């Protein structure tokens, strides 16, 4: 006998063996117990005729055999039908999950898994598998988009460097300060892109290695603004700091929080035209230390408030007013750092041309 390879076949074989053993046990036990017990009770009736006693015992044995066989056939048939129903109800979602798993393993993440309502465990398994397939599909799409965006980001500085090198080699360009400055700028851009990619990956894996300590977020804001002030002055954009309250005590990584504010200020400067203003408001509410970075720049459609935190979202060139574009990873890294501080970083805008507002929230340090 060949062992079935399918789950349903093996389950049915196991059920058939159990039912068969149960039926055989019942028949054997009844056959061993019932006739002697009938003979015992019949002998106590005082029947003296051996022929009558023999006929009674044969009649009992025959009727007993017919009843047991009929009952066994009915019970085995009913048990087999119920077992087949249960096996199919259990095996069908498992077979679908196995087929879906093969599709996912082959890179096809758009799979259909029906709702398995037989039991809460199978239902949870089906739901978890659908969620896993969806997450894997999103991750694969993100990876593909990241590679495409990275290739796009690398193309411009590499093309510039190649053009300058060819020009210098063919004596079309002079090896003057402007040429070397342009090439150095493109190399700096490539280096920054590589560093931001490394930090973005570390941030996504929560592996930034934060060094947490008590600090006042007002001082962090002041340091970030002092560092950004020369660039704002050079581009003639006004930068102001408004602080409310006596202090903003938090527990955080001073350097990483300065990096968050630096990225927000750089993003605001990049999208704010000459003669406009960027304001930083630092204050406290009931639970959080709050920093709002508000610019008078180009803003963005209200429905893009989450998309702007995606990697390389700055590829919408129509929004950039500066030629010194960043890597497109600054806001992604900033939000990851804030999330690791148990805080939040949200963006809002009334639309293109109406500026943008970035709201940073870090939980206030409890006074013990």
pLDDT one-digit tens code per residue, 115-139: 655 667 777 777 787 788 888 887 7
If you average pLDDT over residues 190-207, what whole number do you get? 73
Inter-residue contact 305 to 351 (CB < 8 Å): no
The pLDDT-based confidence of 23 (bands split at 50, 70, 90) is confident
Q: Distance from CA of residue 275 to its chain's centroid?
A: 43
From 312, 307, 310, 237, select the one nearest 271 (Cα to Cα). 237
Inter-residue contact 365 to 251 (CB < 8 Å): yes
User: Bridge-partner residues for 277, per DSSP?
Assistant: 238
pLDDT of residue 240: 93
| 17 or 284: which leads in pLDDT | 284
Sign of CA dihedral 57, 60, 61, 62: positive
User: Is residue 365 over pLDDT 70?
Assistant: yes
User: Bridge-partner residues for 363, per DSSP?
Assistant: 288
Strands (E), 2-156: none
From 135, 114, 136, select the one nearest 125 (Cα to Cα). 114
The span from the CA of 316 to the CA of 134, in Å, is: 27
pLDDT of residue 75: 75
All domains in the chain, ordered by first residue: 7-108 (no CATH), 136-204 (1.10.287), 213-363 (3.30.565.10)
The span from the CA of 43 to the CA of 192, in Å, is: 106
pLDDT of residue 138: 74
If you average pLDDT over residues 338-358, what whole number do you get? 89
The continuous run of DSSP H or E covering 216 comes out as strand 213-216
Question: What percent of the chain has a predicted confidence (pLDDT) above 90?
Answer: 17
pTM above 0.75, yes or no: no
pLDDT of residue 319: 41
pLDDT one-digit tens code per residue, 217-237: 999 999 999 989 988 999 999
pLDDT of residue 265: 92
Question: What percent of the chain has a predicted confidence (pLDDT) above 70?
Answer: 82
End-to-end CA distance of the chain: 75
């Amino acid at each position: 006998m060949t062992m079935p390879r399918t789950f349903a076949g093996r389950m049915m074989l196991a059920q058939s063996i159990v039912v068969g053993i149960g039926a055989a046990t019942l028949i054997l036990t009844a056959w061993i117990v019932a006739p002697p017990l009938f003979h015992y009770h019949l002998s106590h009736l005082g029947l003296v005729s051996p022929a009558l006693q023999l006929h009674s015992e044969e009649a009992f044995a025959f009727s007993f055999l017919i009843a047991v066989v009929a009952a066994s056939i009915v019970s085995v048939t009913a048990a087999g039908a119920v077992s087949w129903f249960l096996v199919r109800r259990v095996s069908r979602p498992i077979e679908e999950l196995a087929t879906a798993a093969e599709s996912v393993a082959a890179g096809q993440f758009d799979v259909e898994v029906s709702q398995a309502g037989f039991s809460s465990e199978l239902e949870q398994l089906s739901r978890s598998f659908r969620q896993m397939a969806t997450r894997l599909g999103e991750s694969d799409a993100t990876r593909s988009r990241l590679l495409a965006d990275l290739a796009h980001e690398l193309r411009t500085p590499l093309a510039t460097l190649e053009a300058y090198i060819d020009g210098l080699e063919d004596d079309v360009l002079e090896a003057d300060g402007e040429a070397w400055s342009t090439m150095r700028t493109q190399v700096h851009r490539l280096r920054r892109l590589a560093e931001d990619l490394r930090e973005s990956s570390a941030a996504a894996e929560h592996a930034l290695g934060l060094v947490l300590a008590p600090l006042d977020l007002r001082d962090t804001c002041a340091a970030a603004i002092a560092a950004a002030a020369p660039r704002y002055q050079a581009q003639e954009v006004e930068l102001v700091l408004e602080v409310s309250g006596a202090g903003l005590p938090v527990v955080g990584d001073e350097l990483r929080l300065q990096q968050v504010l630096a990225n927000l200020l750089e993003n605001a400067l990049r999208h704010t035209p000459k003669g406009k203003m960027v304001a930083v408001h630092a204050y406290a509410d009931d639970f959080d230390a709050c920093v709002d970075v508000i610019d008078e720049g180009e803003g963005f459609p209200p429905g893009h408030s989450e998309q702007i935190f995606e990697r390389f979202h700055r590829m919408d060139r129509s929004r950039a007013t500066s030629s010194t574009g960043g890597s497109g990873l600054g806001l992604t890294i900033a939000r990851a750092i804030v999330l690791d501080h148990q805080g939040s970083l949200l963006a809002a805008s009334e639309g293109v041309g109406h500026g943008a507002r970035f709201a940073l929230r870090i939980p206030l340090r409890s006074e013990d």
